[in-house]
Structure 1
Amino acid sequence: MHSTRHTHVAILIEANWDLKSIADRLGHSSPVTTLNTYAHISNKVAEKSMDSFEKYMEKLGQ
């Protein structure tokens, strides 16, 4: 059940849900709780975002 919850949060993050909506869906009293629990998932998304940004900047330099 625990891994299913993490998978669900990962899908919501990848679908660009905001942190407050995710916290509400999970029943957390604060988005900080959600962030502290699922920060490792956010880091993966951040890496993907950085890759996308780097590709965009390369296009601008051409």
Structure 2
Amino acid sequence: MLNLPIYEIVDRLCEDATDEFGWLSDGLYKTAVPHSERGTVYVDRPGNINLYALMGIIEQTVNEMEEDK
């Protein structure tokens, strides 16, 4: 079983949500309000989520964790 650094991943996803080149498509990053303590990101209109970007953030975090061992 993987021991993923869940809190680090959530923090990075919340941070990336407000980035123009992050995982929220269709300009949703402009209205993103992340709440890392709750693990949520609020946006005020419909749009898309880039699953490849999400997986890239998770993969990068896990790779960094492995390198630190």
TM-score, normalised on structure 1?
A: 0.41
Which is richer in helix?
1
Give the structure, 1 or 2, with the largest relative contact order (CA under 8 Å, sep 6 or more): 2
TM-score, normalised on structure 2?
A: 0.38
Larger Rg: 1
